[in-house]
Structure formats: structure tokens, C-alpha cells
Amino acid sequence: MLSTLLTVLPIFALILVGWLARRLGALGPHATTELNRFVVWLALPALLFDVMAKANWSELWQPGFIAAFAIGGLVVFALTVAGRLLRGAPLPDAAVDGLNTAYPNTGYMGFPLGVLALGPGAAGPVTLAMILTVCGIFGVGIVCIEIGLRTEKGRGSVAVKVAKALGKNPLLVAPALGALVSLSGLSLPAPAETFLKLLGEAASPCALVALGLFLAADRTAAPVSNSLCSLYVLAKLVVQPVVTWGLAALVFQLPSSLTIIATLLAALPTGTGPFMLAEYYNREASMTARVILISTVLSVLTVSGYLAWVL
């Protein structure tokens, strides 16, 4: 449990820094939006481009692991979106909620916990899971949001509007360009790699500080349903890892090491991606902020319990 606590402690510290900065007046009321725009338009695209450009697809090609982890996340995402649509929620809001339940914090927590579970050999699967999360599940969420925002009469016009919007979205364009660089066999010049590394490493801390700023702001927000929030946290911390374990162990019959790491990564708490999208697209972010906080706190128990069970 101590190892898990030490891993999540910097997350709480960064959120607290943002909260204090807003409460003490160091940052103003527009800081949340502007800092989040920095993440969406600069830092996170740089990170996604860098990850994809450096990906060694021959080493990362593990179809069973890819299928188990990706399908596990997409099943939970789809169930959440369907449930929200049946309750009358707009598609953009349903998509953000889907990410609340299916977007694990693989980037920030995946590597230290993966190494704790499997040693240095976890680097490959964790990298692959991060790509699937930030480029795959995240991308599906963005597509759903854009479709919901641009729906109008006539399928043709909707398709054109969505295509144009997606073509301008840096969170989809950047990893696509990075993949082209990787597949072409080209290598980035050293100054370009340093630039991307410096800018990309700002994504997670800035997103967490923005979350703290949001939590500290005085605002009139829609009430958050405690029961719905509890369901989202349950889906993230229990349902997604159980589904992923079932796919990895029973359907694709992966080796025990890959099953353990796939389940562990699926069991991680909700990352900051859904919050960034909620803020960027001007959707109500109160639910997302609460799910991130509660799932991160409870993951100290759930992830520690899982590691104690399998190790």
C-alpha cells in the first residue's frame, strides 16, 4: 500500500498547488481555462506526437494484449455512454462520462506501478497501454463529442462538419503525424526531441494544477449526483479491470505476466483527459473532477489490494 500511496501522492500535491494558487489569489478566475488550453493545444499534442514518433511497432505488437486492454476500455465506455443517452444526456456529456469510467491514468501512474509489479519488463506493455488510452479511447471520446456538437439534419453535412472539426483537433492530428514519422523510419533531430520532451512533460502537471484551480473556483455549478458518481468510480476501479482480466485470461489466454499488467493498468484511477475535454468543450466538469479525485483516493486501496493478491 505504501508504494501505491507514494505513487499517487504527487498527484494530490499538484492538485493542491492549483487549489491553493486560486484560493490565495496567485492565479485569477481565467487561469483554469487558459492553462487547460495550453495543455490541449501545446503540451499534450507534443507528448502524443513524441510517444507515437518514438514507438517501435515491431516490439510493441502484442495483439492479444492490445485487444484485451482496448476492448475492455471500449466496452465500459460504450456501456456508460449508452446508459447516459438512455437517461436523456446529450452525446458530448455522455462521451465525457464514458471517459470518466474508461480512461485510466496510465501515463502518470502506469510506469511506477508496472515496474513495481513486473520489473523493467513492464515498460513495453505500459507504453502500449498509454498509446491505446491517450490515442485510442481518448480519440473515440473526441469523435463522439464532435458528432454530438455538430449534429444537424442531413447525414452528409454532419459527416463533413465532423471531419473538418477532427482535422483541426490537435489531440488527433498530433499522434497521427507522429505515427507517420515512426512508420516512415525517420528520426527526429536532437533539438526537436528536446523541444517535444520539454513541452510534453508539462502536460500532466499542468492538467492536475488546472484541476485544482477548477475545484477551488467559486461558481454556480449543476449539482453532482452522488449515486452516479459512485457508479462511475465503481465502473473505473472494478468493472473495467474485471472485464479486462476476463478478456486477457479467458478469451485471449495471455501469459500471466501480461494478464497481470493489463488488469493493473485497467484498474488505475481516472486520468485528467476527461477533465481537459470537459473544460475545452465547455461541458460541466464538476462530475469529472469529483470522479478523478475519488477514484484516485480509493485506488490506493484497490490497486494495493490487487498487487498484494497477484504478487
For 41-72, the DSSP string reads IIIHHHHHHHHHHT--HHHH--HHHHHHHHHH
Q: How many CA atoms lie within 13 A of 32 on its CB side?
A: 26
Q: What average pLDDT does range 255-270 have in this prediction? A: 94
pLDDT band at 122 (very low <50, low <70, confident <90, very high): confident
pLDDT tens for each residue of 70-79: 999 999 999 9
**In the chain, where the domains are located:** 2-310
pLDDT tens for each residue of 268-308: 999 888 988 898 888 878 899 899 989 988 988 898 889 88
| Residue-level pLDDT at 236 | 97
As given in the structure block, the three cell numbers for residue 65 are: 494484449
pLDDT band at 14 (very low <50, low <70, confident <90, very high): confident
Residue 161 pLDDT > 70: no
Give the pTM.
Answer: 0.83
Whole-angstrom distance, CA of residue 297 vs CA of residue 311: 22
Please name which of 81, 141, 163, 129 lies closest in space to residue 262, comparing C-alpha atoms: 129
| Residue-level pLDDT at 185 | 82
Whole-angstrom distance, CA of residue 296 vs CA of residue 170: 27
Q: How far from 151 is each of 147, 172, 191, CA to CA, in Å?
A: 6, 20, 43
Mean pLDDT score across all residues of the chain: 86
| Residue-level pLDDT at 222 | 59
Q: How many CB atoms lie within 10 A of CB 2?
A: 8
Whole-angstrom distance, CA of residue 122 vs CA of residue 85: 37
Residue that the C-alpha cell 497477484 belongs to: 310
Residues 6+ apart with CB under 8 A from 137: 70, 73, 74, 77, 99, 102, 103
As given in the structure block, the three cell numbers for residue 106 are: 496510465
What is 2-310's CATH topology? Na+/H+ antiporter like fold (1.20.1530)
DSSP, collapsed to helix, strand or coil, labels residue 221 as: coil
Residue 220 pLDDT > 60: no
pLDDT band at 2 (very low <50, low <70, confident <90, very high): low
DSSP, collapsed to helix, strand or coil, labels residue 233 as: helix
Say how many residues make up the chain: 311
Please name which of 135, 139, 132 lies closest in space to residue 66, comparing C-alpha atoms: 132
| Residue-level pLDDT at 282 | 85
pLDDT band at 116 (very low <50, low <70, confident <90, very high): confident
